[in-house]
Amino acid sequence: MDGSTPSPTHGTVYAGPIRIDTTTVVRAIAYITPANRSPVVTHTYIFLDAVRGQPDSPPPGWPSIFALRDLDGEYPADYGMDPEVTEYPDNASKFDAVMKSLPTLSLVTDLPYLWSPAYGIYFNPEAKETPQRPDPLGTRWERPVSLEWINPDGTTGFAQMAGAGIDGETSRRPHRQPKKNSRIPFGRPPAPPPRTFARF
């Protein structure tokens, strides 16, 4: 329930229904023995009221700053919805319709893949695979993610594992853009081969 990868030794055992009444990521496996288990299944549930009221304070386990080093030092994390958008009179009645006007792409991964000082891609946004800066995990500064395409009507377009990395040049620098762009390269593990999909 925290977005981390479940295993026979990590997670919570459920034998009945799970109540979901706010934005939640559920990752689950079924297993008989540690060696006999299913692939990880991920489902993201998004409640627009929770999105609208998303607080600035970080969720449990998430950092309060987005970067520890750069030209100007620390950069506070920014998790909340901008009140200038959500509370503007002309926008209040449009929020749900606007949020449902485009599909949602959900990327779910273990927090250390984002925030580990040694190998987290958000903690090291300017890191690229070079002889001078090799990836300590050997995956070209890409990290495994569960990728879900969620249509505006709530149906799933596709759900699969992929690799995600930070994209951009100067926008990688926290003083220019605290929030980062991601890239999803298809055709190399853990992502499947390139696919054709109607985006809109």
**DSSP result, 116-185:** -TTT-TTTSTT---BTTB--TTSSTT-EEEEEEEE-TTS-EEEEEEEEEEEE-SGGGSTTT-SS-EEE--
Q: What is the pTM of this model?
A: 0.84
Say whether pLDDT at 86 is over 70. yes
Task: Taking residues 103-119, report their average pLDDT.
Answer: 92
Say if CB 50 and CB 22 are below 8 A apart.
Answer: yes
Closest by Cα among 127, 101, 129, 98 to 114: 127
The predicted pLDDT at position 22 comes to 94
Band of pLDDT at residue 20, cut at 50, 70 and 90: very high
The predicted pLDDT at position 147 comes to 92
Task: Taking residues 93-115, report their average pLDDT.
Answer: 91
